[in-house]
Amino acid sequence: MVTTAAYGTWPSPIDAALAAAHDGRPEFVGSVGDEVWWTEPRPAEGGRRALVRCRADGTTASVLPEPWNPRSRVIEYGGAPWAAVAREEGGPLVVFVHHADQRLYAYAPDGPDEPWPLTPVSATGGGLRWVDPQLRPGRDEVWCVLEEFTGEAPTDVRRVIAAVPLDGSAADDRGALRELSDDRHRFVTGARLSHDGRRAAWIAWDHPRMPWDGTVVMIAEVTPEGSFTAVRPLVGDTGESVVQVEWDRDGSLVFVSDINGWWELQRVRPDAVAGAVVPSTRLCSGRAEEFGGPLWRIGLRWFHLLDNGLIAVVHGRGTTALGVLDPETGELVDAVGPWTAWAETLAVHDTRVFGIAASPRTSFEVVELDTATGHTRTIGAPHKDVVDPAYYPEPRTRTFSGPDGRDIHAHVYPPHHPERTGPDGELPPYAVWVHGGPTGRSAVVLDLEIAYFTSRGIGVVAVDYGGSTGHGRAYRERLRGQWGVVDVEDCAAVALALAAEGSADRDRLAIRGGSAGGWTAAASLTATDVYACGAISYPILDLEGWATGETHDFESQYLESLVGPLAEVPERYRERSPIHHTDRLTAPFVLLQGLDDPICPPAQCERFIAAIQGRGIPHAYLAFEGESHGFRRADTLVRVLEAELSLYAQTFGIARADVPRLELTE
């Protein structure tokens, strides 16, 4: 029986502990002989990630016990942290990066020994870090991206492709590591070896470009001794983003490029004379959708070649599907099943494709597609309804009209409860969710954090503002030079449109976001009067500080494109920074920060809080030891979710006794 109750007061079985326990998703799937492996989150185990194996008989088990944590910190966002091979004797061998010390380790999970280190510890700066390993058992070594700090500053760093011996001889000897590439480029991905072992290819780029701005594919000849020679660029440019490259069996390279405005699959034969224009062929043109995405982490994979000549692809516009492409005919057939969003990771074994996917009714699962039969099934991390699915939100994907009539894509999650409805004449409060990046997007999948609010009668709208990926390069570049303008305008336009159409209460709008989303949330509170309150997590608050040493190397020159060159438009950095406009702030807020965050350091939050002291703005600042950029520990996740709900309850005049009261100071 449905009863009437004020929005925001509805009871819900989805508490913060339940949402925290299901935070995160599986990542980095791979095939190891007849087994499928992946990593998955463990919020209750200090926020570590576990490496999980699914055996041929369907049983699953952790590969590494606590406290082993396969997670890389290269470019701080990391990437593929493990690689493994099946062996005839002794079971599989896995190489992985341990988060605590960033050393590379080897381990035989079916053997008696503990993991043994392969790389040394460096006392310089951030030390030695590794990502995107590629095992070469025939040479008894593993190829990886090496990130090496040369000084104490976060920008004192170099990156090369290096070979690490599997016998452990480099565990205490930096000199035993073989550098394969030189350091002509600031950033590199892992090398991909051709099937005949004669060539290697990788992706590279340099400051001030980000990998979605412009990258180049480098190619090298591989000597019998395993060294790189005749290194040269093949495809890519400063205005062309190539995000993945793989060798086909015929010696051609298949890659994803956005040269035509969308990330598309192309093929090139690298036998042209050095310096000559290398022609490429588009494999699935004219679809106006993405076959790639932003390379925020090294080792992401949107396509995988099968032995039969077909190509498994993750593709879509605004969302993603798993398809199988015939590169000869251009025919593309999507996998059947309930999944509506696929992550940027794929593996294959024979005719089977493995990926990670979710839907509005299911969390991310490890899924198998058998291309021989067309059958799909879940093989790992299966979704379980921990509450009645009647409490899940029902999203609606919409396109709103923004300033100058530009399209703004968003996903609307109205309040939803199987036994409650709002009173006649009352409109619900809404929270605008701002994704990070800002080169990211919001996936329409089951998220118990969203359900935490919608099941209580608070709506959520996730905005893919201009600058988001998934809608082509032109949409992504709307933010060029306009960060703090277009993102703020687009979020406000969506919020006000919901209010104008009678879907949301104009006086009870909130905004929340983390990282770049935290920037937009803070900028929105200091530049508009749209929102009654805000929840700001690990944000950028001072552009000039962030551009002059207060962040890590990867994004240290990102503002050159997002805002403009600091040397040319210094006033723009000050005009847009929330830290310089606290006098405009009138809305209550909660500021949430990890104290170990190297990307958005706590110093900016501390300066922001100091600047508003005594101004009468109700606020709370919660800082968490042991948390970095993005919260991972269960107790932290519970605390921040309850703090956000308490802020909304106090600001919107909602009586709730089921969460601790957030103490706001003025």
| Euclidean distance between CA atoms 123 and 172, whole angstroms | 12
| Euclidean distance between CA atoms 319 and 494, whole angstroms | 19
Half-sphere exposure in the Cβ direction for 660 (13 Å, CA): 10
Q: What is the pLDDT of residue 272?
A: 58
Alpha-helical (H) ranges within 50-146 are none
Question: Amino acid letter at 166?
Answer: L
Q: What is the pLDDT of residue 121?
A: 96
| Euclidean distance between CA atoms 625 and 491, whole angstroms | 31
Which DSSP string do the residues of 115-133 spell out, in sequence order? PEE-S----STT-EEEEEE
Question: Amino acid letter at 417?
Answer: H
Q: What is the pLDDT of residue 432?
A: 98
| Euclidean distance between CA atoms 649 and 482, whole angstroms | 33
| Euclidean distance between CA atoms 377 and 315, whole angstroms | 20
Q: How many CB atoms lie within 10 A of CB 545?
A: 18
| Euclidean distance between CA atoms 512 and 34, whole angstroms | 44
Tell which phi-psi region holds residue 284, choosing left (phi > 0), alpha (psi between -120 and 50) or beta.
Answer: beta
Which residue in 397, 576, 556, 568 sits closest to 482, CA to CA? 576
Report which secondary-structure segment, H or E, holds 606: helix 602-612
Mention every residue, 6+ apart, whose C-beta is less than 8 A from residue 601. Answer: 550, 551
Q: What would the pLDDT profile of 59-82 be if each residue is shown by its tens digit?
A: 999 999 999 999 999 999 999 999
Name all domains of the chain by residue range, CATH numbers in brackets.
Answer: 395-652 (3.40.50.1820)
| Euclidean distance between CA atoms 552 and 480, whole angstroms | 21
Q: How many CB atoms lie within 10 A of CB 507?
A: 11
| Euclidean distance between CA atoms 654 and 487, whole angstroms | 29
Which DSSP string do the residues of 341-399 spell out, in sequence order? EEEEEEEEETTEEEEEEEETTEEEEEEEEETTT--EEEEES----SS-GGGS---EEEE
| Euclidean distance between CA atoms 571 and 585, whole angstroms | 20
Task: Give 10-residue mean pLDDT values along the chain (666 residues).
Answer: 96 97 95 97 93 95 95 98 94 97 96 95 94 93 97 96 97 97 96 96 98 97 95 93 96 95 94 60 86 97 96 96 94 95 97 97 97 96 97 97 96 98 97 97 96 98 98 97 98 98 98 98 98 98 96 97 97 97 96 97 97 94 96 96 98 94 95
Q: Is the dihedral of CA 24, 25, 29, 35 positive or negative?
A: positive
Mention every residue, 6+ apart, whose C-beta is less than 8 A from residue 50. Answer: 39, 40, 41, 42, 62, 63, 64, 70
| Euclidean distance between CA atoms 324 and 198, whole angstroms | 28
